[in-house]
Amino acid sequence: MPDTVRTSALDALIDPGVELRLLGEGYEFTEGPVWLAAEGALYFSDIPGDARWRWTEAGGMELAEAPTFKGNGMALDNEGNILVCEQVSSCLVRMLPAQGRQLVAYHYRGAYLNSPNDVVVRGSDGSIYFTDPDYGRWNDWIGQERSKNGVGFRGVYRVPPDGAELQLLVAEDEFDQPNGLCFSPHETLLYVNDSSARNVKVFDVAADGSLGPSRILHEEIGSGVPREGNVDGMECDEHGNVWVTGPGGVWVLTPEGEHIGTVATPEVCGSLCWGGADLHTLFLMTYTTVHSVPTLVGPAPLPPF
């Protein structure tokens, strides 16, 4: 499998001889994958297609739901329910098996959110963290073109475990377009990338869930030009390495920020997640396609705990 960069450190995480497996094709823009172990299933979004898809080894691909308010990033809460960032409604919602769609967040201090993009759960207390760029307000391809006069900035938020008032975790000017985010093992660090600033930032996570000052993990990733490969989806592995989309595929960064290799993909990769029976299969959302590849490493522990 060709890579733009390859080191022995990357070889310890993914076998250099493995090949990508095509799982599905013909989508408009695949995004936001999540592995549901209880079903042995991968769920992912086709944002412009306004659909949520489900893949299993036995059943292959099937349409899970449509329309979806152009759903984007997904994650599981501590009870195993799927959380979905909706581009059209500008809401973060929870999908409950019996009751259906439950509203989790849609405003901050009386102003509507921009368009929640990616979401993670802090397993130790069940609090929910999400990014809120304004991509879902740009056009009718990945959202719905409309006013950008909502909260007035693009932030990172936390929904407390008791569902109390939404908390803004960073300064209003901390990010231009915050996008992917993930926790380190033990949830002591939170990584957040900024697509337009082309960097990945890292924050210390306090016991109460708040964040310390940011520092740059890695910068100047990609050109910032859409469809050329930029920071977007991001996951942390069990050793603390950060796997983030970028030019050529998925960049692998050490906890110190060193770029040790790139897992090459045939199209721009927008997002990724681990899954499979042993959580050693990396699922790649590769624009009009979906691929998987075995890895020698698994993810940082994820809910449900």
Q: Residue 131 is encoded by which pair of tokens?
A: 């990014």
Q: Does residue 190 sit within a domain?
A: yes
Tally of CA atoms within 13 A in the half-sphere of 250 that contains its CB: 31
Whether 149 shows a pLDDT value over 60: the answer reads: yes
- Summarize pLDDT for 42-85 with one digit per residue, the tens: 999 999 999 999 999 999 999 999 999 999 999 999 999 999 99
How far is 192 from 183, CA to CA, in rounded Å?
9
Q: What is the CATH number of the domain that holds 257?
A: 2.120.10.30
> How many domains does the chain divide into?
1
User: What mean pLDDT do residues 228-254 have?
Assistant: 96
Q: What is the pLDDT of residue 276?
A: 97
Q: Does residue 23 sit within a domain?
A: yes
Q: Does residue 50 sit within a domain?
A: no
**Tokens 């990769």, residue located:** 269
Q: Does residue 76 sit within a domain?
A: no
Q: Does residue 51 sit within a domain?
A: no
Structural domain boundaries, residue 242: 8-32+105-294
Say what the pTM is: 0.96
Nearest in space to 133 (alpha carbons), one of 217, 73, 83, 50? 73
Q: Residue 38 is encoded by which pair of tokens?
A: 């209880």
Q: Does residue 89 sit within a domain?
A: no
Q: Residue 158 is encoded by which pair of tokens?
A: 């936390």
Q: What is the pLDDT of residue 49?
A: 98
How far is 128 from 116, CA to CA, in rounded Å?
12
Whether 4 shows a pLDDT value over 60: the answer reads: no
Calculate the alpha carbon distances from 282 to 20, 34, 149, 266 in Å.
10, 11, 38, 15
Q: What is the pLDDT of residue 18?
A: 94
Nearest in space to 293 (alpha carbons), one of 282, 285, 277, 279? 282
Q: Does residue 84 sit within a domain?
A: no
**What is the bridge-based pairing of β-strands 51-56 and 41-46?**
antiparallel
> CA 233: distance to chain centroid?
4
Q: What is the pLDDT of residue 3?
A: 53
Banded model confidence at residue 5, pLDDT cuts 50, 70, 90: low
SS3 of the chain: CCCCCECHHHHCCCCCCCCCEEEEECCCCEEEEEEECCCCEEEEEECCCCEEEEEECCCEEEEEECCCCCEEEEEECCCCCEEEEECCCCEEEEEECCCEEEEEECEECCEECCCCCCEEEECCCCEEEEEECCHHHCCCCCCCCCCCCCCCCCEEEEECCCCCCCEECCCCCCCCCEEEEEECHHHCEEEEEECCCCEEEEEEECCCCCEEEEEEEECCCCCCCCCCCCCCCEEEECCCCEEEEECCEEEEECCCCCEEEEEECCCCCCEEEEECCCCCEEEEEECCEEEEEECCCCECCCCCC
Q: Does residue 183 sit within a domain?
A: yes
